[in-house]
């Protein structure tokens, strides 16, 4: 009789049954199996808890009583929503069609570990780590010292009527910098137009959202250095349409110095354009 069939037919339950299932003389092995079984059960419980947490998070973030948001525009899932859906169904893709009882325990542990790692990589305290802010919450971003913003990315969500934002930075200054943060440069629902002081570049952006207006007020941080002067400057066209995701890269050998946008109540969103300049020696 194999060691597993003894455990199924013999007396005792739980860790005791697992211990009896091992032939005499396997002392260390008995201790290991008696320890592992409760751990497997704990991991299974955690897996159920994690799956419930993600389901609850997705329902809270993305569910609706209809397939259209309140502004009646057709609902289209965003890349962020698609990622949550793929994570939700990933454990099922790790399950083979048939497997033994031992394999079931192994795959349960593997599945729970993968699931928890994915959750930790995407969400921390409900925040999607790909973005610098959550919907409807403040945004505070500053580049590391000596750098300026080189990439701007954003996604709009019709349910929240707000955007999440992300930025990347590039090395800009090779000497000490002096920095300045503006006051808020726009009112809710009002146009925005801002340029850094002469020979300074944008190194940070900050904003807060108000549900009443479904809009954000913005302020900017600019930095400069004694040996850094801007030269030829130009504006982009608008980099997005209303409700549209966008990604903007500041062209190589140029630096971001300004931003413009206007808000439309119909879409509860803004369109953006940016100004950048080349550099010359001072």
Name the residue ranges covered by the structural domains of the chain. Answer: 3-128, 139-280
Helix (H, G, I), strand (E, B) or coil at 27: helix
Q: What count of other Cβ atoms lies within 10 Å of the Cβ of residue 216?
A: 24
pLDDT for the residue 66: 41
Query: Does residue 202 carry a pLDDT above 50?
Result: yes
pLDDT for the residue 129: 76
Q: Global pTM?
A: 0.59
Question: If you average pLDDT over residues 145-151, what whole number do you get?
Answer: 97
Question: If you average pLDDT over residues 14-42, what whole number do you get?
Answer: 45
CA distance 179 to 223: 4
Please give the C-alpha separations between residue 211 and each of 32, 231, 257, in angstroms, as whole numbers. Answer: 56, 40, 29
Average pLDDT of the chain is 76
CA distance 193 to 160: 25
Question: If you average pLDDT over residues 105-134, what whole number do you get?
Answer: 64
Residue 238 Ramachandran class (φ > 0 left, ψ -120 to 50 alpha, else beta): beta
Closest CA to 179 of 133, 219, 152: 219
Tokens 């130009």 locate to 234
Query: Does residue 20 carry a pLDDT above 80?
Result: no
pLDDT for the residue 29: 44
Among 6-10, 58-62, 95-99, 105-109, top mean pLDDT goes to 105-109
Question: If you average pLDDT over residues 183-197, what whole number do you get?
Answer: 98
Query: Does residue 21 carry a pLDDT above 60?
Result: no
pLDDT for the residue 94: 55
């Amino acid at each position: 009789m194999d060691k597993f069939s003894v455990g199924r037919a013999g007396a005792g339950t739980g860790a005791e049954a697992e211990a009896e299932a091992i032939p005499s003389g396997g002392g260390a092995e008995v201790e290991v199996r008696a320890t592992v079984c409760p751990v497997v059960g704990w991991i299974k419980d955690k897996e159920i808890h994690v799956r419930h947490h993600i389901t609850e998070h997705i329902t809270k973030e993305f569910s609706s009583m209809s397939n259209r948001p309140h502004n009646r525009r057709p609902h289209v899932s965003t890349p962020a929503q698609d990622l949550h859906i793929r994570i939700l169904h990933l454990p099922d893709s790790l399950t083979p069609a048939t497997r033994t009882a031992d394999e079931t325990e192994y795959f349960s542990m593997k599945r729970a570990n993968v699931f928890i790692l994915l959750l930790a990589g995407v969400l921390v305290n409900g925040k999607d780590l790909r973005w610098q802010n959550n919907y409807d919450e403040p945004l505070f971003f500053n580049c590391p010292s000596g750098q300026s913003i080189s990439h701007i990315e954003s996604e709009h969500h019709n349910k929240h009527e707000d955007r999440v934002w992300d930025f990347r930075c590039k090395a800009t200054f090779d000497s000490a910098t002096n920095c300045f943060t503006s006051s808020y440069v726009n009112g809710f629902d009002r146009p925005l137009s801002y340029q850094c002081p002469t020979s300074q570049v944008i190194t940070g952006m900050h904003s807060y959202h108000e549900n009443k207006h479904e809009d954000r007020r913005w302020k900017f941080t600019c930095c400069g250095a004694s040996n850094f002067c801007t030269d030829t400057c130009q504006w982009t066209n608008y980099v997005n349409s209303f409700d549209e995701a966008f990604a903007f890269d500041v062209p190589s050998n140029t630096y971001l110095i300004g931003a413009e946008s206007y808000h439309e109540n119909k879409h509860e969103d803004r369109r953006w354009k940016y100004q950048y300049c080349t550099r010359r020696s001072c």
